[in-house]
A and B are shown apart, each in its own frame.
Chain A
Amino acid sequence: MGEIDSEEPPVSEAGEEEQGAPDYIGAFLALSRRAKIRVLIPVSFVLWHVAVVLLWGAGERVREVVRPVVGFYAGGLKLAGTWGMFSSPSRMHVTFVYGVKEDGQRIMISPDPESTLYQSLVDMRERKMRTRLDDEGQRNAWGNRYLDSFCQRPDGSWFQRVELESAEHDEQRRWGTRKVVLSRPCFFAHKKAQEAKQKEQSP
């Protein structure tokens, strides 16, 4: 990281205040010009980082104002964020992915009711992604392609279609009726896989 380094002491404790506490400002002023620059680089970084973190967390309106200047650091490199975990009302939706076979039989694919402990650890992030699809905008944006990825079964066979099912907690704190919010025929995914296979085999 070049000069931004906590390895080298940025100031000596040459200057001592009357009470015996280190006088960093006095020590800094006594430094040579080059040494001052070496100190100012990490100091500037600390000030910049703290300022960006505070500004980015100060609300949507402030964020929009400062975005042109700090957006690359806070949003692009993701070095600042907001941390309102659990503060908004919890999502009281639950979503499932079902595969429908040729004979009409429905099989729950996600969450997999028969997953082992290892598999459930591997699948830990699946729930987050599924839950995002409660939102209609997200479903319209990438729901179909998401469901496509479930079309092929581990044994190589294909479902006829895949469905996303949602259930909502009602105001009486009961699970409402489950409903299919998105259904996707597996024809497209199957065709795409065949094309990819042909492409792979052709010289």
Chain B
Amino acid sequence: MRLSPRVRRELNEIIGFFCERTDGSPIALLRILYGALAVWTSLFLLPNYERYYTESGRLPWDKVKHFPEHIYSILQFAPQSSAFVYAVVWTAIIASFCLLLGVMSRLAAFVLFAIQVALQHRNPFILNSGDHLYLIIAFLLSLTPSDRKWSLRSYFAHRRGKGESSPIFAWSTRLIGLQICYVYLYAFAAKINSKPWINGTAMYDVFASPSLARWPAELDYPVLLALITWGTLVFELFFPLFVWQKEYRRYAIPAGILFHLGIEVTMVLPMFSALMMISYASFLDDEEARAILSFPRRFIDRLRGKTSPSPAEVEAHVSPSD
């Protein structure tokens, strides 16, 4: 089969998008941020596991076992056992710490994914979009060696005298980035056909909704509400288009962080905003990720009065033990 030069060039561009080589810094940053969120989330399972996932809790097993998807939950093997759920929760906590510190990170991410599948099918009535995305990112993280940099693994490898690791391909990082863009575009497409979003009143209902708003309030500022409503649409449409280009990314990502901080403060959506902000690490290139990862060290050096290396110097001297 012969491809025309144009088709071949375009195919090469698509493949190049997924096969771009990276030193692993962006995925390491994502792993650390996601790992921190996973630790927080897993620790909060301890005070909650009994009421949400056991027989003595809010939802007994016989109320969910008729869902066909229950076969994907490992909790089906001992649905009456609180001790089994407790063991699963502790496994999640250990896996979260492993991911944060970069110890067997692929296995840790896969374990987190499997546990999330189990818990989410065991009690589907407490979930929001953030939980779903959390599970997807865990799976995609399990496909990539995210502990090549800034991890205990790389630290010990460096101490053993193993040299710089070879670059990796960015395809699973790209899948995470594409997933985030898809979430925004899907949300935009779902809203654009809705009358309240077009006439600028949708945010009135959102802010007044007792099931969504942290402090439900009926705001009577039509201009402000319209600006927030349309601003949300504009953001959801343009963020996925601009975030891939470096010159626009420096504006797109801060805009996204402000957008999600606003949601986090005003809405009750556990995990969703934090996860979206964390996922922005997948859009960064090596240089940007390294600058963020080395920021704490540079900040401490500055406090101590030492001359801190510039991001360019950091780039030139990154060792696996970082």
Chain A residues with CB under 8 Å of chain B are 1, 4-7, 9-11, 17, 21-25, 42, 45-46, 49-50, 53, 57, 72, 75-94, 121-122, 124-125, 127-129, 131-132, 138, 141-142, 145-146, 149, 169, 173
Do B120 and A86 touch across chains, with their CB atoms under 8 A apart? Answer: no
Do B208 and A90 touch across chains, with their CB atoms under 8 A apart? Answer: yes
Do A1 and B142 touch across chains, with their CB atoms under 8 A apart? Answer: yes
Do B117 and A87 touch across chains, with their CB atoms under 8 A apart? Answer: no
Do B143 and A90 touch across chains, with their CB atoms under 8 A apart? Answer: no
Do B183 and A22 touch across chains, with their CB atoms under 8 A apart? Answer: no
Do B187 and A125 touch across chains, with their CB atoms under 8 A apart? Answer: no
Query: B234 at interface (Cβ–Cβ under 8 A)?
Result: no
**Within the complex, which residue of B125, B179, B182 is in contact with A128, where a contact is CB–CB below 8 Å?**
B125
* Bound Cα distance from A75 to B12, whole angstroms: 33
> Which residue of A has the minimal Cβ distance to B73?
A76
Contact partners of B58 in chain A: CB under 8 A: 129, 145-146, 149
Contact partners of A81 in chain B: CB under 8 A: 129, 132-133, 136
**Within the complex, which residue of A11, A77, A93, A132 is in contact with B72, where a contact is CB–CB below 8 Å?**
A77
Please tell me the number of chain B residues within 8 Å of chain A, measured between CB atoms: 76
B192-210 toward A: CB 8 Å interface, digit per residue (1/0)? 0010110000100110111
* Bound Cα distance from A25 to B6, whole angstroms: 13
Contact partners of A169 in chain B: CB under 8 A: 208
Contact partners of B190 in chain A: CB under 8 A: 83-85, 87
**Given known A-B contacts A9-B169, A11-B19, A125 and B129 have beta carbons under 8 A apart:** no
* Bound Cα distance from A53 to B210, whole angstroms: 31
Do A6 and B187 touch across chains, with their CB atoms under 8 A apart? Answer: no
Q: Taking the nearest CB of chain B, how far is it from the CB of A125, in angstroms? A: 4
Query: B171 at interface (Cβ–Cβ under 8 A)?
Result: yes
B32-75 toward A: CB 8 Å interface, digit per residue (1/0)? 00000000000010011001100011111001000001011000
* Bound Cα distance from A180 to B59, whole angstroms: 21
**Given known A-B contacts A53-B179, A87-B187, A6 and B172 have beta carbons under 8 A apart:** yes
* Bound Cα distance from A9 to B169, whole angstroms: 6
* Bound Cα distance from A90 to B208, whole angstroms: 9
**Given known A-B contacts A77-B72, A90-B208, A142 and B59 have beta carbons under 8 A apart:** yes
